[in-house]
Structure formats: C-alpha cells, structure tokens
C-alpha cells in the first residue's frame, strides 16, 4: 500500500539548498541594508548636525577672531597714528591785548625791607627825597617793592642805581629771579637805569625784590610802565635776497617765509645721521613731519676723520627729503682745515687770524692760490681754508643742480669764542664771512643758498646787507615754558626790524601760546637732536620736551608741517601777529636790558 505522508524526507539538492540559503540571505541582506541605510541616514543627520554646529561655532570664532583682528589692527594703527585718532587740531588764536597806559615809581626810601640801610642825598642825580645806601652782603639786605598791576599786558621794569665799583645784583619777581643788573667800569660813579623789556604780567599784585650779590650799591627806585614797543606791527619783511643772482627756487622759498612771518612758525628738526630717526620719531608721535630737515656739513670738511660713504651720504639724504616736498637746511660744524680736525677752539691749533689776508682771494682759482702760497704771499691757513670752502661748495652744488634751495647757516655762534671761527675776534670772523659768501656765491655760483647769520653778538654783526635771515641758538636747563621773547626782541632791535628772525637751534620747543602772546613769532625753529628728542634707547625723550609739547607744536593751526608746506594752497588765512618795534639802541649786557644814564646836569659829581 502507498502512503505519501509516511515517505521519508528527501534530501535537497545542492542547487536547491543554495537557492534556499540565498533566499534567506537575501532577506537578511535586505534587512541589513535597511538597517544600514537607517544607520547611515542617522549618521548623516548627526554629521549634518555636527557640521552645522561646528559651522556656527566656527563662524562665531571667525567673527570673534575678525573682531579681535580688527581691534588688533586698529590698535596697531592707533599706536602709529594715535594723534590723528585722538588729537584734533590745536587751534591757537593770537591773543588780543588791550594796552593800558601805566607808569609807577616806587622810591627805595619808601620800600619795605631791611632797615639797616640808610637814606642819603649826597650823590647827585637821584629822584624823590634821596636813595638808600649801606648795602652789605653780610647783613643779607633785601628790599621789597609792591606794585598793583592794572591790566594783563607787557611791562618794562627799570631799576635806578649807582656804585663806585664794578658790581652785580639781582631783581626777583614774586620770589623768582628775573634779571641781573650790574655796574660796569664805564658806568661807575653815577646813577644809571637798567631796563628789562616786555615782561608779561597778569592783573593783580606783584612784588619785586632787590637781592644783593655784591656790596656797595646806592639804590634809587624801581619803575614799572606798560611796554610801548612790543605791539607795534612790523611783519612786512622784504623777500628780496642779498644775492642778486639768487635762483628762482630760493626766491620762492624766501617769499613763502616772508608771507608767513608773524602768522605761522615753520617746524624744523636736526638729524644726527641719514636715517632721519628723529624725524620719524616725531611722525610716530604726532602724525606729522617737520617742514625743515636740518643737517650738518661736518663730514665734508677736508680734515674730517670720517668721510661719508655712498650708503651714508648726507647730501643724498637731503635730496630725498627735498624730492618728498620738504625744505633743506644746513649748518657747518667746520673742522679746522689744518692741524687737529676739531671745530672747538680749545681742541685745535688752527688760528684764523693767520689766514686773514689783504689779498682778495675769494675769486681766485686753485692754481692762483697755489702760486701765491709758493711765493710765500699766502699762509697754509689761508690755502687750506679756501680748499675746504671749495670742497663743501662742491657738495652743495649737487643740491643746486637739482634746483633745491638751502637754508644755509655757516659760522654759527661765533661770539661765544668756543669755535675756531669766532675765537680770533670779530674782525677775523667778518673777513671769513665775506670770503665764504663771495667764493660760494660768485666763484661757485651757489645761487640756491639763503644765508642765515647767527653769530649772536653785537660785535660780530655783519650788517643787514650781508645776510638774509637773522637767527639765534638757545639752550637752557630750565624746562619751563618759554617764548624766548627777550632774544627775539634783541634780534629785532639789532636788525632794525628789516629781517626775518629765526630760532636756528633750541633745546626746548618754544611754547606756542607764549610765543604768540609775546609777539615772538619766529620764522622757523630747529630742535637739536640727542636727548632733546630721543633717549638712549631711541624712544621719545621727555627730559626737555614732553610728548604733549610735540603734539601741540605739530598739530597747531599756527605751525607749518611738511604736509602743510607741500599743500600751500589749502592753508587757511591767518591774521598776522604784531611784533616788537626796533629799539633805539641794541641792548647792553644782556639782550633784554638797556642802560640809560641820568642827564648830565644831574650826574655832575
């Protein structure tokens, strides 16, 4: 009998087994694929989320970094150009001073002070009821003169005194030394008046004190009166140069200087070498360059021990400065052309008086000079001096050939006798000035030079027809704000108000407010280098000049910087500031003091 249900199971073929396994594997694979896809989609979603988060975070970081970078850049720029970001133009307007007629005399016998002094009327020429005598330094005599100042303006202070001996004493104002007054050999035996001009006093009480240095004076009075000369307008200086063949470039520069005289001050800076580190430091702190770069022809002296290299050539540096729109200025620490190569008289044996000759050598050729030397008609001092002038002139001609005008200031500070060109006296100095001018102008045709005189002494004055600009070098350990008005008035008096007046060298920047208040508006100034501007590490030094003083000077509406000079047409018109009128006589003893004698009928002994 056949019963299929009881049939034994048939073994599957290999093919069937595989197919069955494949079917199972396919299902497993499909399931795995679904799971894998799900997993991958999950991963992708997670990655997208992570990327999105990372992107947001990165964007935030980028924004923060960008902000930090921007801040860093701004901070860096601010460090370099801080004044432009934080300092606006320093607007200075010339102070309008209403003059007030005032004169008061306080007799010595009416003053307060030490009463060990006695009143006398023996010496003729006094005012009032007499004068005080018996001054003795051992007793520490002092007298106090109290004045009521009616108006803020400039005043002249006069002291009348007499002595039978050469002596010196002091006047103090409110406890601070104001000026010395002395009796010279020429003024002994009679009353004389010494006047200190142009002191600005505020309204209120002021006390003048006579401090005794030497004994033996007879004191008559102190007089205070309003200054009559400092406000007289005189800024219309002729731009005509002394050289009739002056170049057009020199004439243009001189015209610019005279147009601005009394209105604005040109900024200037001396450099220690061709790196211009001083000038760059000024820009770093003020965002402005000086209008004038002042250099020294020292290295071009024939006897100089250090010769300029092509990489450190001063004239090349000046040409670059001029091509950038700046003004070039030069002085000359002239190393003695013979013997020791020094410019200080105490360090060299060179004697200018031995070079002085009656022979007109200014326009001679080298062959003519050598011939006269061989004949014994010229000294070695004369010959080497002329050769040195030729050598320096050759260098200056490079500027001439580039049509660059030069503010040329040779033979400076001669009256001090510390330089060999002044040590032999005023006559030798004047001879040298004349030879130098004629040889450079007529022989070498350096018609690009504007001649600056700064010998700083009445005896060394060469006359207005021999120079273009009168200047003075001023240094002081006193860092108080100053306008240098006393020296300004002296130069104004000496030149009769006919010349531009400049502060050719200074250790302390003139105070702008005081400069315009005192009507001592210098044509330009030149700040010396060294610790007057930089410390030993090359940073801005504030030993003599603060950063604030640089900021005011280089951002004032009354100063001319390089950028203002280059863009002359955009300068706002400023009203001129009145200056001091010429005094009748040049000051005696010090630039700001004059001496008067009592009329003869009062001085008869």
- For residue 494, the model assigns a pLDDT of 93
Residue 586 in tokens: 């040049």
Give residue 575's pLDDT. Answer: 64
User: Which tokens go with 7?
Assistant: 């049939």
> Can you read off the two tokens belonging to residue 123?
């010496």
Which helix (H) or strand (E) segment holds residue 526: the answer is: strand 525-527
Sole residue written with tokens 């009821």: 129
Give CATH 3.20.20.80 domain extents, the chain.
248-570
Pairing mode of beta strands 268-270, 292-296 = parallel
- Within the chain, all domains assigned CATH 2.60.120.260 are found at 103-229+590-603
Rounded to 10 degrees, the C-alpha dihedral 113/114/119/125 comes to -60
Q: What's residue 66's pLDDT?
A: 33
**Strand arrangement of the beta sheet that strand 112-113 belongs to:** 112-113, 142-149, 204-211, 167-173, 176-183
Scanning 446-569, the segments in alpha helix (DSSP H) are 485-494, 512-517, 547-554, 562-566
Tell me if 155 sits within 8 A of 199, measured CB to CB: yes
First to last CA, the chain: 188
In terms of CATH architecture, what is 248-570? Alpha-Beta Barrel (3.20)
Q: Which residues contact 198 (CB under 8 A, 6 or more apart)?
A: 154, 155, 156, 227, 229, 230, 485, 486, 489, 518, 580, 592
Backbone angles phi, psi at 176, to 5 degrees: -115, 140
Q: What is the CATH number of domain 103-229+590-603?
A: 2.60.120.260
Position 13 scores a pLDDT of 32
Residues of the chain with pLDDT under 50: 1-30, 34, 50, 52-85, 578-605
The pLDDT of residue 347 = 96
């Amino acid at each position: 009998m056949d019963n299929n249900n009881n049939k034994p199971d048939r073994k599957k073929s290999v093919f069937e087994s595989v197919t069955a396994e494949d079917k199972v594997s396919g299902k497993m694979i499909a399931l795995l694929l679904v799971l894998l896809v799900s997993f991958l989609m999950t991963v992708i979603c997670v990655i997208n989320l992570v990327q999105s988060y990372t992107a947001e975070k990165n964007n935030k970081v980028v924004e923060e970094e960008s902000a930090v970078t921007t801040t860093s850049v701004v901070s860096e720029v601010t460090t370099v150009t801080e004044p432009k970001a934080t300092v606006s133009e320093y607007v200075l307007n010339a102070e309008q001073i209403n003059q007030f007629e005032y004169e008061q005399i306080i007799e010595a016998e009416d003053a307060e002070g030490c009463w060990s002094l006695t009143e006398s009327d023996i010496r003729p020429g006094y005012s009032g009821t007499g004068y005080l005598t018996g001054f003795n330094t051992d007793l520490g005599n002092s007298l106090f003169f109290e004045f009521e100042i009616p108006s803020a303006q400039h005043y002249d202070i006069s002291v009348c005194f007499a002595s039978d001996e050469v002596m010196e004493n002091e006047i103090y104002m409110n406890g601070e030394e104001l000026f010395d007054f002395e009796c010279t050999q020429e003024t002994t035996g009679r009353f004389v008046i010494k006047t200190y001009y142009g002191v600005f006093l505020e309204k209120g009480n002021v006390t003048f004190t006579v401090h005794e240095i030497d004994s033996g004076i007879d004191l008559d009075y102190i007089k205070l009166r309003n200054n009559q000369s400092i406000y007289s307008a005189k800024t219309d200086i002729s731009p005509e140069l002394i050289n009739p063949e002056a170049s057009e470039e020199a004439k243009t520069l001189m015209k610019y200087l005279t147009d601005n005289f009394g209105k604005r001050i040109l900024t200037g800076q001396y450099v220690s070498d061709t790196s211009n580190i001083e000038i760059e430091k000024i820009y770093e702190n003020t965002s402005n360059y000086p209008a004038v770069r002042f250099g020294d022809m020292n290295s071009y002296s024939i006897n100089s021990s250090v010769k300029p290299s092509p990489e450190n050539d001063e004239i090349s540096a000046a040409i670059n400065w001029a091509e950038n729109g700046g003004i070039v200025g030069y002085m000359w620490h002239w190393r003695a052309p013979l013997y020791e190569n020094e410019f200080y008289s105490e360090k060299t044996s060179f004697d200018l008086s031995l070079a002085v000759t009656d022979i007109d050598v200014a326009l001679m050729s080298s062959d003519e000079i050598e011939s006269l030397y061989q004949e014994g008609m010229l000294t070695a001092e004369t010959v080497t001096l002329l050769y040195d002038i030729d050598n320096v002139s050759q260098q200056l001609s490079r500027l001439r050939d580039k049509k660059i005008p030069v503010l040329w200031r040779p033979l400076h500070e001669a009256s001090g006798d510390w330089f060999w060109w002044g040590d032999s006296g005023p006559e030798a100095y004047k001879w040298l000035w004349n030879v130098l001018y004629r040889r450079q102008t007529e022989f070498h045709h350096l018609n690009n030079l504007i001649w600056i005189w700064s010998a700083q002494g009445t005896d060394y004055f060469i006359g207005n027809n021999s120079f273009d600009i009168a200047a003075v070098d001023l240094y002081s350990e006193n860092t108080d704000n100053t306008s240098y008005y006393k020296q300004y008035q002296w130069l104004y008096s000496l030149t009769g108000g006919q010349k531009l007046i400049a502060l050719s060298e200074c250790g302390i920047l003139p105070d702008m407010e005081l400069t315009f208040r005192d009507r001592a508006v210098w044509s330009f100034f030149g700040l010396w280098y060294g610790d007057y501007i930089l410390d030993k590490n090359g940073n801005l030094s504030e030993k003599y000049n603060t950063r604030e003083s640089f900021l005011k000077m280089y951002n004032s509406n009354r100063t001319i910087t390089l950028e203002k000079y280059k863009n002359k047409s955009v300068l706002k018109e400023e009203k001129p500031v009145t200056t001091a009128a010429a005094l009748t006589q040049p000051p005696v003893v010090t630039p700001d003091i004059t001496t008067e004698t009592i009329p003869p009928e009062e001085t008869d002994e």
